C-alpha cells in the first residue's frame, strides 16, 4: 500500500516534493517534515509552534475544540471525581491506575522520600526574606541535582521511577520551606503520618512542635474538605501535554542535562504570567478591578488593541472551547461554597467578568474562555494559601507531568532540540 503524502510545489523552481503523513491514534495527523531541509534546502517557519508537533507522546491527549483532556486515556473529570492525586501520579508514571496494594506502596514511598537534605535547607535560608517562592523553588530543585547526581545516569526503569518519586515527594517540602521562609517563620518538617496533600497543608500551617492553631473554639485541624479541594487542584494540574514548561523540560533534557535541572527550567518557564503565573495575576487583577461596577471598563481595556492589558485567566492556545479543568474547578467552587469561607466579593467580580466576556463579540469571536487559572485563586485563598504560593501549587501538581514526559523522551533515541531561524540581520 502506498503511503499517504502531502505534495508541495515550489513555484519558484517548479520542483515537487512529497512528505509523509503520520497518523495519530486520536487528533490531527501530522506531516513529517524532518527531511524538509535536506530535500528542499529551505526551513519551515512556525513562530510559537502553533502548528508544529515537537514529539511523539502517549501521555496526555487534548481536544481543544471539544474541551477534552485525558491522562493515559482517562478523562480528567473522572480522575478529579473518583481518584486522588497520588493515583493520578501513578497513572501518569506507569501508564495504569494502581491496584490497592500498589497505591499503598507508592503512598508509603512518597511519604518517606519527602525529607530534604539539611544543606538544602541552608541554601533556602540564605535567600532574602522577600524572595518569591518560585525563585526559591526553581533554585532549590536545581540544587537537588547535586544531592542526587546519580540520576544523571539512570539506565534501568527502577532507578528512573525512584528519581521520579523522589522529586514528586520533595517538591512540596521545598515549596513549604520557601513559603515559611518568606514569612520569616520556622520551617516545619514533613509528617509521614499524613497523606501527600494533608502533609503539604500541615507544613504550611503548623506551629513549631507540629501543633495546629488553637482558638477559643478548639484546635483548628486540617479539614477533609480542604484536603479534597487541594488534592483535586493538584490532579487537574498534573499534566497538559506539550505546553511551554513541558517543552522547556524536554528541550533541556535533550542536551543530556540532569533531570532535576530540566525540571528546574520547567519551573522557571511556568512562572511567567502567560503560563502558570496567571493564577496569581488573576487574583491581583480582581483586586485591581475592585468592584463589579468597574468590570465594563476593564473589559474595554482588554479589547483595546493599543492597550497591553489582558484579562488574566482568559484564553488558551489549545482550548477553543471551555477549558475542562476550569469547568471542574467551577464545579468544585460551587461544592465548597457552603463548606469553606470563599471570598464572596472576589467571586462576585469574577462572575461578572465571566458573564460580560462570554457574551462579548471580541471574546466570543476569538474563542476566549475562562481557563484553569481563572477559578483556582478563589479556592486557594479559601484554603488560607497566600498569593505568592499560587504558582508553586501549580508546580507541585505539574511535577509529575514534567518528569513523566522527560522519562518518555529519554526512553527512545533522541536528538538535541535545535530549531533554525529566518535570518534577517546584516
Q: Which residues are annotated as catalytic?
A: 316, 373
> 370: helix, coil or strand?
strand
Gap between the Cα atoms of 172 and 115, Å rounded: 10
Taking CB under 6 A as the criterion, the residue among 72, 240, 327, 398 binding ligand CMC is 240
Q: Choose the stretch contacting ligand CMC; rule: CB under 6 A; options: 16-24, 73-81, 94-102, 274-282.
A: 274-282
Burial annotation 58-86 (CB, 10 A radius, 16+ → b, else e):
ebbbbbbeebbbbbbebebbebbeebbbb
Site string for ligand CMC, 283-302 (x = CB under 6 A): -------------------x
Tell me if 190 contacts ligand CMC by CB under 6 A: no
Which range touches ligand CMC (CB under 6 A), out of 91-99, 110-118, 290-298, 311-319?
311-319
Q: Name the residue nearer to ligand CMC (CB basis): 196 or 374.
A: 374
Q: Does 315 bind ligand CMC (CB under 6 A)?
A: yes
In this complex, which beta carbon is closest to ligand CMC, that of residue 77 or of residue 241? 241
Stretch that binds ligand CMC, among 28-36, 166-174, 371-379, 400-408 (CB under 6 A): 371-379
Tell me the site size for ligand CMC, rule CB under 6 A: 21
Nearest to 113 by CA among 178, 164, 188, 154: 164
What is the number of the residue whose Cβ is closest to ligand CMC? 315
Stretch that binds ligand CMC, among 217-225, 312-320, 401-409, 416-424 (CB under 6 A): 312-320
Supply the Cα-derived Rg of the chain in whole angstroms: 23
Selected binder of ligand CMC within 311, 328, 380, 382 (CB under 6 A)? 311
Q: Out of 206, 368, 379, 385, name the contact with ligand CMC by CB under 6 A.
A: 368
Q: Is 366 in the site for ligand CMC (CB under 6 A)?
A: yes
CB-nearer residue toward ligand CMC: 366 or 420: 366
Q: How many helices (H) and strands (E) does the chain have?
A: 18, 8
Per rule CB under 6 A, is residue 62 in the interface with ligand CMC?
A: no
What does the DSSP assignment read for 106-175? Answer: HHHHHHHT----HHHHHHHHTS-TT--HHHHHHHHHHHHHHHSGGGGG--SHHHHHHHHHHHHHHHHHHH
Closer Cβ to ligand CMC, 151 or 250, answer by number = 250
Residue span binding ligand CMC (CB under 6 A) among the ranges 71-79, 170-178, 364-372, 400-408: 364-372
Nearest approach, Cβ of residue 315 and ligand CMC (Å): 2
Select the span of 115-123, 125-133, 205-213, 268-276 touching ligand CMC (CB under 6 A): 268-276
Q: Percentage helix, strand, coil, to 5, in the chain? A: 55, 10, 40
Cα(298)–Cα(284) distance, rounded to whole angstroms? Answer: 13
By the rule CB under 6 A, 380 interacts with ligand CMC? no
User: Grid coordinates representing 168?
Assistant: 514528586
Alpha-helical runs (H) found in 155-294: 157-183, 196-205, 224-237, 244-253, 259-271, 278-289
Dig out the grid coordinates for 417 from the structure: 532540540
107 part of the interface to ligand CMC, by CB under 6 A: no
Binding mask 116-145 for ligand CMC (x = CB under 6 A): ------------------------------
SS3 for 19?
strand
Estimate the crossing angle of helix 372-382 against helix 278-289, to 10 degrees: 80
What is the closest distance, in whole angstroms, from the C-beta atom of residue 241 to ligand CMC in the complex? 10
Is the CB of 226 or the CB of 239 nearer to ligand CMC? 239
Closest listed residue to residue 404, CA positions, set 208, 214, 157, 222: 157
Q: Does 405 bind ligand CMC (CB under 6 A)?
A: no
- Contact between 314 and ligand CMC (CB under 6 A)? yes
Handedness of CA 50, 56, 61, 63 (dihedral sign): positive
Residue 266 Cβ vs ligand CMC, minimum distance, rounded to whole Å: 12
**DSSP three-state, residue 189:** coil
Residue 265 and residue 255: Cα distance in Å, rounded? Answer: 13
Q: Closest by alpha carbon to 310, among 232, 368, 269?
A: 368
The CB-of-371 to ligand CMC minimum distance in angstroms stands at 4
- Enumerate binding residues for ligand CMC (CB under 6 A): 48, 240, 243, 274-276, 278, 302, 310-317, 366, 368, 371-373
Amino acid at each position: 500500500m502506498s503511503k499517504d503524502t502531502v505534495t508541495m510545489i515550489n513555484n519558484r523552481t517548479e520542483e515537487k516534493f512529497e512528505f509523509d503523513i503520520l497518523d495519530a491514534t486520536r487528533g490531527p495527523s501530522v506531516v513529517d517534515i524532518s527531511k524538509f531541509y535536506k530535500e528542499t534546502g529551505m526551513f519551515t517557519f512556525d513562530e510559537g509552534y502553533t502548528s508544529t508537533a515537537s514529539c511523539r507522546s502517549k501521555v496526555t491527549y487534548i481536544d481543544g475544540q471539544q474541551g477534552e483532556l485525558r491522562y493515559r486515556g482517562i478523562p480528567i473529570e473522572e480522575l478529579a471525581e473518583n481518584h486522588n492525586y497520588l493515583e493520578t501520579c501513578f497513572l501518569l508514571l506507569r501508564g495504569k491506575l494502581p491496584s490497592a496494594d500498589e497505591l499503598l506502596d507508592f503512598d508509603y514511598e512518597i511519604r518517606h522520600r519527602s525529607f530534604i537534605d539539611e544543606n538544602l535547607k541552608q541554601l533556602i535560608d540564605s535567600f532574602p526574606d522577600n524572595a518569591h517562592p518560585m525563585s526559591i523553588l526553581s533554585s532549590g530543585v536545581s540544587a537537588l541535582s547535586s544531592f542526587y547526581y546519580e540520576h544523571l545516569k539512570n539506565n534501568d526503569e527502577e532507578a528512573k521511577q525512584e528519581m521520579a518519586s523522589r522529586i514528586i515527594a520533595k517538591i512540596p517540602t521545598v515549596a513549604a520551606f520557601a513559603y515559611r521562609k518568606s514569612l520569616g517563620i520556622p520551617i516545619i518538617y514533613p509528617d509521614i503520618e499524613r497523606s501527600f496533600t494533608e502533609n503539604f497543608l500541615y507544613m504550611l500551617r503548623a506551629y513549631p512542635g507540629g501543633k495546629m492553631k488553637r482558638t477559643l473554639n478548639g484546635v483548628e485541624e486540617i479539614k477533609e474538605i480542604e484536603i479534597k479541594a487541594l488534592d483535586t487542584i493538584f490532579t487537574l494540574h498534573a499534566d497538559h501535554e506539550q505546553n511551554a514548561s513541558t517543552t522547556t523540560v524536554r528541550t533541556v533534557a535533550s542536551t543530556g542535562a540532569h533531570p532535576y535541572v530540566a525540571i528546574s527550567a520547567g519551573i522557571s518557564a511556568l512562572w511567567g504570567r502567560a503560563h502558570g503565573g496567571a493564577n496569581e495575576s488573576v487574583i491581583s487583577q480582581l483586586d485591581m478591578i475592585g468592584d463589579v461596577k468597574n468590570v465594563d471598563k476593564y473589559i474595554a481595556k482588554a479589547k483595546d488593541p493599543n492597550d497591553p492589558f489582558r484579562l488574566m485567566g482568559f484564553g488558551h492556545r489549545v482550548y477553543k472551547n471551555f477549558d475542562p479543568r476550569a469547568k471542574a474547578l467551577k464545579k468544585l467552587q460551587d461544592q465548597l461554597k457552603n463548606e469553606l469561607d470563599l471570598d464572596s466579593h472576589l467571586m462576585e467580580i469574577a462572575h461578572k467578568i465571566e458573564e460580560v466576556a462570554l457574551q462579548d463579540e471580541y471574546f466570543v469571536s476569538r474563542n476566549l474562555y475562562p481557563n484553569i487559572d481563572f477559578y483556582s485563586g478563589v479556592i486557594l485563598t479559601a484554603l488560607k494559601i497566600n498569593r505568592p504560593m499560587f504558582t508553586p501549587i501549580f508546580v507541585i501538581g505539574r511535577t509529575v507531568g514534567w518528569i513523566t514526559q522527560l522519562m518518555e523522551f529519554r526512553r527512545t533515541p533522541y536528538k538535541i532540540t535545535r530549531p533554525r531561524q529566518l535570518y534577517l540581520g546584516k
